[in-house]
Amino acid sequence: MPELRNFTLNFGPQHPAAHGVLRMVLELDGEVVMRADPHIGLLHRATEKLAENKTWIQSLPYMDRLDYVSMMCNEHAYCLAVEKLLQIEVPLRAQYIRVMFDEITRILNHLLWVGCHGLDVGAMTMVLYAFREREDLVDAYEAVSGARMHAAYYRPGGVYRDLPDRLPQYQESKWKSAAQIKPFNEARSGSLLDFLDDFVGRFPKLLDEYETLLTDNRIWKQRLVNVGIVSPERALQRGFSGPMLRGSGIAWDLRKKQPYEVYDRLDFDIPVGVTGDSYDRYLVRMEEMRQSNRIVRQCIDWLRQNPGPVMSDNHKVAPPDREAMKSNMEELIHHFKLCTEGIHVPEGEAYSAVEHPKGEFGIYLLSDGANKPYRLKIRAPGYVHLSAMDEMVRGHMLADVVTIIGSQDVVFGEIDR
Amino acid sequence: MSAKLEALSHNLQKHLGDRVKSLREALGEVTIEVDAADYLVVMQTLRDQPELSFEELIDLCGVDYSTYGNVQRVGGRFAVVSHLLSISHNWRLRVRCFAMDDNFPSLPSVTSVWSSVNWFEREAFDLLGIVFPGHNDLRRILTDYGFVGHPFRKDFPISGYVEMRYDPEQQRVIYQPVTIEPREVTPRIVREATYGNV
């Protein structure tokens, strides 16, 4: 009888299914995983340390680069924390815009997730469909902020500017004639709200298409059902939040339980899983997209009817508008002080959390009254979820590791910070 | 103070008593401070007492208070701040605990209370050098293999001490002292509270 011993396998950091730079040392007994030791930090940029050396507003764009598939939600948590410390009111219209873009971001995130998870598990088609829809939403990002990814659109005190009345159009070129372009430009002929309205009208049907492709698919179910089961008790012990917690059957959503902005005025439901396996988490996320779509629609209706300011008029926090600055001495001083020295945040500490597409994304700010944070701590949901990796993969086959990474929806920008 | 926070403060005082060194309510958040000696017991009570029942530890982070308010501070340099969440009561709590010794900050590990704290304590050890006796796997987590120092301490320069490059002669990646100068674009300024009549 030959001596048998466990086999150690190095998974990543350049593995396409590792969703970034995850290095995992797996101890295998045959094909069964006995132990997983994730090594993280390969993308560590010390965002929190950098923020200590930047003014409050300068560290805002770093937030986009944390979870780089749900940019605006990260900014949202940061802005909420700064606003909490400053104790300022945000105009209602800005709150609606933020909620609308949070939900657009959730759809963006879940679309990328379902596409990449599909790729990992072997459903190659999904990613193409998901990216087709992402394109429209990313265009909305671009229309509003000028950037397709790292928007830096939310600011302490509101949002950078109001929604645009017109969108960029496709231009005729030697490859595409005017007739070919026309259908592309149809939805773009109106304002951004018209464009989004067109999207939310189309999207539920597209979601149905995704579901026909995956939900009852035999291979999809074979790969996901009963893989990575987390009981509700363990989910709480492991600090899970978001779809990971709801997949385990705990109805917990910050948008409902501790509503921020205008979520208490909106009508939506919270999907909850039953068994806590990867398949339930998939179903929860698919349903979340439908609910987000509902929220976006309600926001569009409200925003159409209620014009108004989108930025706080407290010029100790938000810069005055360009025109006023050039004609008024006091505004000029405000502008100068804001752009050279930055906001002064009163001494204190605050923790603000948002229901990020991946879970609870929190920002803990400690201010000593300076124009820079004294300490910034980012509570990234993925960090907590990934720390449960060992527990979740034990006893599963090697191929299931990929499913579990996918179902945790990890992104290394936020985990490594 | 809202009724909910009042109930929470009341329950905290009832079940923790003298173990709470200070209890503060600000900006709709409750913060308690505990001694290092009571830390583990307090955390255990916070989770197990049904009137408190903080089932989840949301976050734990280390803080280096050495230059707080632009003044050098002696004693009580390092603290650990945890954020707890109760799903059943729907309330949050912040617990702060200072480590006694500035030269060798150490606090008992709470991994036996919440499993989720495992990586947070590793992170606090890695970045600030706070040691957690009772943690069974206290390795570095975010910094490079073989990293020296604790980068989030306030006396650690933002540019670090070493940089990495490929050396064509030795045909491998080497470390060398940093060649960039630290540069501060906007100085750090602490103004008095009434500055500019905000």
At B65-86, the pLDDT tens digits run: 888 877 777 668 899 999 999 9
The SS3 of residue B65 is coil
Model pLDDT for residues B159-172, shown as the tens digit of each residue: 889 999 999 999 99
Whether pLDDT at A107 is above 90 = yes
Q: What integer pLDDT is reported at residue A104 of this predicted model?
A: 93
pLDDT band at A100 (very low <50, low <70, confident <90, very high): very high
Radius of gyration from C-alpha coordinates of chain B = 20
The complex scores an ipTM of 0.89
Whether residue B197 has pLDDT greater than 70: no
Instruction: Please give the interface size between A and B, counted as residue pairs whose CB atoms are below 8 Å apart.
Output: 131
Give me the pLDDT at residue B126, please: 92
Q: What's CA A96's distance to the chain center, in Å?
A: 17
Collapsed DSSP state (helix, strand, coil) of residue B25? strand
Q: What is the pTM of this model?
A: 0.91
Tokens of A227: 């893989």
Tokens 């290394």 map to which residue?
A412
**Which residues of B, range 15-74, sit inside 8 Å of A by Cβ?**
26-29, 31, 55-59, 61, 63-64, 68-70
| Integer Cα distance of A292 and A103 in angstroms | 5
Would you call A377 and B118 a contact, using CB atoms and an 8 Å cutoff?
Answer: no
pLDDT of A80 strictly over 90: yes
The residue behind tokens 């994304």 is A361
CB A402 within 8 A of CB A17: yes
Residues in Cβ contact with B132 at an 8 Å cutoff, skipping those fewer than 6 apart? B106, B107, B108, B109, B111, B121, B124, B125, B138
Q: Mean pLDDT throughout A236-245?
A: 91
B119 in A contact zone (CB under 8 Å) = yes
| pLDDT category of residue B195 using cuts at 50, 70 and 90 | low
Closest residue of chain A to B153, computed from CA coordinates: A49
Is pLDDT of B120 > 90?
A: yes
Question: How far is A239 from A384, CA to CA, in rounded Å?
Answer: 7
A185 confidence band (pLDDT: 50, 70, 90): confident
HSE of B121, CA atoms in CB hemisphere, 13 A:
23
Q: pLDDT tens digits for A124-147? A: 888 999 999 999 999 999 999 988
In the predicted structure, residue A66 carries a pLDDT above the cut 60? yes
Share of chain A above pLDDT 90, in %: 44
- Over residues B97-113, the mean pLDDT reads 89
**Chain-chain contact of A372 with B143 (C-beta, under 8 angstroms):** no
Residue type, B187: P
With beta carbons under 8 A apart, name residues in chain B contacting A316. Answer: 196, 198
Nearest to A366 among B29, B63, B186 (CB): B63
The pLDDT of residue A319 is above 90: no
Which residue's entry shows tokens 């609910």?
Answer: A291
CA distance B37 to chain A (A): 24
